Structure 1
């Protein structure tokens, strides 16, 4: 192979240097990400400007861009904590979080790219210990899970205040108690349920008895009123009316013999 002319060699060197320069000066920020610029010779991390947005950027080759995911992210935590009486409680939780976009430079400067393990996880664990430590095992078992997770969420946000991240939600997936404690609580809850059921049946029977007594008293009162209103003359009149109606029937054979003890006729007959 023939040797290249001496005039071409500098051109080739310049092209290679340009390619290296351009390759080290271009940064691509993908969707859902943002970049923090580190100026090696001009003050370090840029904290007073907006992070690099999605897209293609050109920076000086001696500077560095650190890429952060700025979408909402999740982490799962499985923790062993103590209840108020010192028993081990296992709690599984999911945390939704995201870095504060306009403070991404401060987050990188003070916490770094490992901010999840350095900041969020310790805060969640500390908050969980504080919340669970206020309850006894039976309270944790019976307490509404939503109430517990809301308390953990509030405690976590308090710990992460002014830390350049935001926790959007905490979900408590499971609260596990020691087997013996769980069985004892279940027996207690079963007994309470049976007691409530017995009280319900007793109350129902009492109400039914009261209803029957009221109904009987009503009937007795009605009979008293009816008996008081039925005088001897009214009874005679009713008997005469009944006799007249029977005599009008085509299918009746009636024989009237004298009168009874109360002055009413004695009626003999059949249909």
Structure 2
């Protein structure tokens, strides 16, 4: 548009000085040619608009938004139209308690009240994109700053509305996936009404109050101590059972000895033992027995 305006001004100037009586009349023709070139370039640049890959353009002429979208590539447009370009790729919006980690500086985490009246801090990332066909509607009804007008407030509101159905500890542990699924459905339906597609919802962190954390840690320590005690008791029980079996085995052995060995068998075992002693080169033992027991002397 600027080139067209400059060209028009130069064309007007060339007509003004195109007078034989003027000293500058000889410059009228060159200025006219330059003006025509500028007007042609201006019209060409205004009627041809390049849209980059992953983007979509929307035309508006004097405030009236066109229903036709401009896809990626070169598009012929009204030279008087204003083009608003939307990013159609996947975008993310992060709300975090860590400084400079989220889209807004400082602590931007979501603080919610749970069913048991405790305040829980939620860090969240929303992955979303716009529907290209809905870009004109977004421009008319929301504007190009849909991130701050739709994504942020709807996400924070849906999380607060659903957190009241869960206790803090359940929200932190057992019910976390259920909570994420629930808020995903609510946010998805609200986004869809406004031309946005929710791709994924990531609960990055849930911070509990310090008092609740200490309670959980105490409970975990108590459970670990209980499991340790159960292990000790089981080990003692197994040891007691081992000793009982060992004692029973000894008792059974003694019973067999007292009832099952005859005099001849005992005499035989005695002879075997004496024979082994007699084979030893260092034997200096004299074994005195009854009449049937021999006396064994060592070699030395």
Whether these two folds match at TM > 0.5 is yes
Q: CA deviation at 1:234?
A: 1.8
Q: C-alpha distance in 2, partners of 1:236/1:85?
A: 86
Per-residue CA distance 1:25-75 (angstroms, 9 max, x = gap): 23222343222344779982226xxx411x333312133332111222211
Q: What is the TM-score normalised by the length of structure 2?
A: 0.69
CA change 1:161–1:238 in 2 (3 A) is: farther
CA change 1:239–1:187 in 2 (3 A) is: closer
Q: Is the 8 A contact 1:72 1:96 kept in 2?
A: yes
Q: C-alpha distance in 2, partners of 1:70/1:179?
A: 42
Determine if the alignment matches structure 1 residue 112 to structure 2 residue 131: no
Per-residue CA distance 1:168-199 (angstroms, 9 max, x = gap): 32222332233344334433443344344334
Q: Counterpart in 1 of 2:45?
A: 23
Q: C-alpha distance in 1, partners of 2:117/2:205?
A: 19
| Helix, strand or coil at the partner of 1:134 | coil
Q: C-alpha distance in 1, partners of 2:177/2:36?
A: 66
The structure 2 residue matched to 1:134, chosen from 149, 165, 172, is 165
Determine if the alignment matches structure 1 residue 52 to structure 2 residue 71: yes
Please show how residues 61-210 of structure 1 align to structure 2 within 5 Å.
61-77=79-95, 78-101=109-132, 103-143=134-174, 148-161=179-192, 163-210=194-241
Q: CA deviation at 1:206?
A: 3.0
Q: Which has the higher contact order (CA 8 A, sep 6+)?
A: 1
Q: Aligned-pair RMSD on alpha carbons?
A: 3.6
Q: Is the 8 A contact 2:124 2:201 kept in 1?
A: yes
Q: Which runs of 4+ in 1 moved over 6 A?
A: 39-43
Q: Counterpart in 1 of 2:293?
A: 265
Q: CA deviation at 1:10?
A: 5.6
Per-residue CA distance 1:87-131 (angstroms, 9 max, x = gap): 222211122222234554454455432222333223322332244
Which ranges in structure 1 are unaligned for 5 or more consecutive residues?
none
Determine if the alignment matches structure 1 residue 239 to structure 2 residue 270: yes
Q: Is the 8 A contact 1:25 1:58 kept in 2?
A: yes
Count of aligned pairs: 264
| Helix, strand or coil at the partner of 2:124 | strand
Q: What is the TM-score normalised by the length of structure 1?
A: 0.75
Q: C-alpha distance in 2, partners of 1:96/1:167?
A: 6
| Helix, strand or coil at the partner of 2:58 | strand
Q: Is the 8 A contact 1:98 1:165 kept in 2?
A: yes
Which ranges in structure 2 are unaligned for 5 or more consecutive residues?
1-22, 96-108
- Structure whose residues are more often strand by fraction: 1
